[in-house]
Amino acid sequence: MKQILIALAALSLAACSTKPPLTLQAFECGEVEVRDISLFSPGIDEGMKKNLVDSCYLIQHPKGNLIWDTGITDAVGEEGVEVFGGKLKLTVTNPLSDQLAAINIKPSDIQFMGISHFHGDHTGNANLFNTAQLFIQQAEYDAAFGPTPESFGFNADSYNKIDKTKITVLNGDHDVFGDGSVIIKPAPGHTPGHQMLLVNLEKEGPIMLSGDLYHFTKNREHKRVPSFNFDKEQTLQSMESIEEFVKETDAKLWIQHDKEQNATIKHSPYSYQ
């Protein structure tokens, strides 16, 4: 009997050891040529150009896969499109759909979707994941699915195939998988219901995905608020609370648009664990 119990315990340990780990993969989901960076820092560096990236992420958890932000629509392609009165040019050289296919992930394999906010460079490929459960803050839902999404700078056509019956509306923090490993945190101001994502990785430690709380490191250092943000005071309050949270958790903050920081991050097929 003792030998049987030992064997069963060994099998149990083996099963635990083969449990898939929590992983995070980064994708470059477009590029942004900024022709006047003072758009992001009013009164500073007027007329100066800067290139940004547009990042998306795949979080794989034993309970399912979560896509965080969906980038600029793949349809833009390398030719690109000008927006914001020609102040920005958006291009896509490596479609997100191709990057997912390269790691054998189909859109239907994504059970959950979190979008930091509903500007078009984050919802561009949202319709690919129309079978996923969407997590969205109440204020963002009201703006994005209300009568005038364009008044908030949203393009409803980029997310009009999302299954509304699978939308989970949030009012604050949300523990996606119920184990503290992936947590959505509200950080309003850039848009009414802007949110961020904390991923608690076993080996790499906690990583906070910025959404558009900041667009590049210099703006983080100086707490500068873009001219087109929904609410400046809300943004500053979110910056303060998130910085305090990052300090408390000792999390790395990945600024999703920061080209220079992004160059130091390993991209798919590499998986952070």
User: pLDDT digit of tens for each residue in the chain (273 aa)?
Assistant: 434 333 433 334 334 445 678 999 999 999 999 999 999 999 999 999 999 999 999 999 999 999 999 999 999 999 999 998 999 999 999 999 999 999 999 999 999 999 999 999 999 999 999 999 999 999 999 999 999 999 999 999 999 999 999 999 999 999 999 999 999 999 999 999 999 999 999 999 999 999 999 999 999 999 999 999 999 999 999 999 999 999 999 999 999 999 999 999 999 999 999
Q: Which domain does 144 fall in, by range? A: 20-262
pLDDT tens-digit map of 75-122? 999 999 999 899 999 999 999 999 999 999 999 999 999 999 999 999
Give the pair of three-digit tokens for residue 43. Answer: 């009164």
Quote the pLDDT of residue 20: 76
Of 190, 189, 185, whose CA–CA distance to 251 is shortest? 185
Asked whether residue 128 is domain-assigned, the answer is yes
Asked whether residue 267 is domain-assigned, the answer is no
Asked whether residue 12 is domain-assigned, the answer is no
Q: Tell me the CA distances in angstroms from 173 to 119, 167, 198, 270, one per residue in order.
A: 21, 16, 10, 28
Q: Which residue in this structure is represented by tokens 């204020």?
A: 139
CATH number at residue 177: 3.60.15.10
Phi then psi dihedrals of residue 267, to 5 deg: -105, 165
Asked whether residue 122 is domain-assigned, the answer is yes
